[in-house]
Amino acid sequence: MTRLKLLALLPLAISSVAFAAETSGSEYLHQTAAGKWEVTPMLTYQDMTLKYTNNNGTNFDKSETTGVIYGVKGEYGIDDMFSVGINIAAENDSIKSTSTSGVSNTGTASGLNNIDLYGNGKYDLGGSMLRYGLDFSIAMGKTKQDISSGAGQGSFGTSDGGLNATPFVGWEMAMGPGIFGLKFSYTFQLADRKYNSTPAGTGALADSEKGDSAESLTAFYEWMNNNWSLGVALSYNGTNGSKLTFGDGTTGTVDNGHAGIFIDIYAPITVADNITLIPSFGYGDNGEMLIAEQGGVKTFAGYDLSVAARFGF
């Protein structure tokens, strides 16, 4: 239930000017202009389904998570090459676990997600632009796991209880009536995830987790107009399994890795010189890194619907 995906879900800000203009080229790799602030509140509804290969050891075949993510991102342009920002979001989800035998249970996930501190950079290649950046995803303490009410039930936190880094590199150029670009990112753990587990001190729940990682490769194209644009981004996302330490001192591995395609469609509209509305819709495997209790993953996919407003100062 970690929400590293938030950078992808956060609005892809519009630039209604030419490719090499002050506010940068594409929306997908948007970067705040020099000497300016941008603040972007957003709201996302999500519906994601996780299917298990081995019933997750709990006799459940799948879990469906529905809920909302609400947050705000702030970014400042240091100069023509660099910007820095912060992304803060919280989440409130309902979880329903079901089996082919008709058994079902419910749970909840809520709280503050990891806080993201990031920096973006760009370099003009003459006719195209190199993009790069680094994001640090920081949990504000241990994440909650409480299954004292039974398997497939309970309540969970939405941060991952750890510290992650995500460097990325991208490239874009003008092509036809719009902009074509590529982006590659890799996420890895800088510190183990820590859990506040109930029941504690058992072999049922992990106290810590390490070794998880994720990679993403995206191609996008954006059709540009005077005060709006339409973008389509196609991503291949993959995550890997991790190693666990349980409350009784034992260790093990968990097969919570998954891979798949994600498509994101976004259509930013400039309503004023410093205000842009950004609706977006995404479907598929978003590359979310799953926490320890979600082992034995077969597929992980769904959709999200997001709306945001970017304000420039």
Tens of pLDDT, residue by residue over 133-171, are 999 999 998 887 777 665 556 788 888 888 999 999 999
Band of pLDDT at residue 309, cut at 50, 70 and 90: very high
CA distance 122 to 130: 5
pLDDT at 229: 96
DSSP reduced 3-state for 12: coil
Domain spans of the chain, in order of start: 6-312
Q: Which of 133, 98, 136 lies closest to 115 in space, CA to CA?
A: 136
We find that the CATH architecture of domain 6-312 is Beta Barrel (2.40)
Q: pTM of this prediction? A: 0.86
Instruction: Provide the Cα torsion 118, 1, 250, 163; round to 10°.
Output: 10
Q: Residue 230 above 60 pLDDT?
A: yes
Give the CA angle between residues 203, 209, 215 to the nearest 5°.
140
Decide if 280 contacts 231 (C-beta within 8 A): no
CA distance 74 to 33: 13
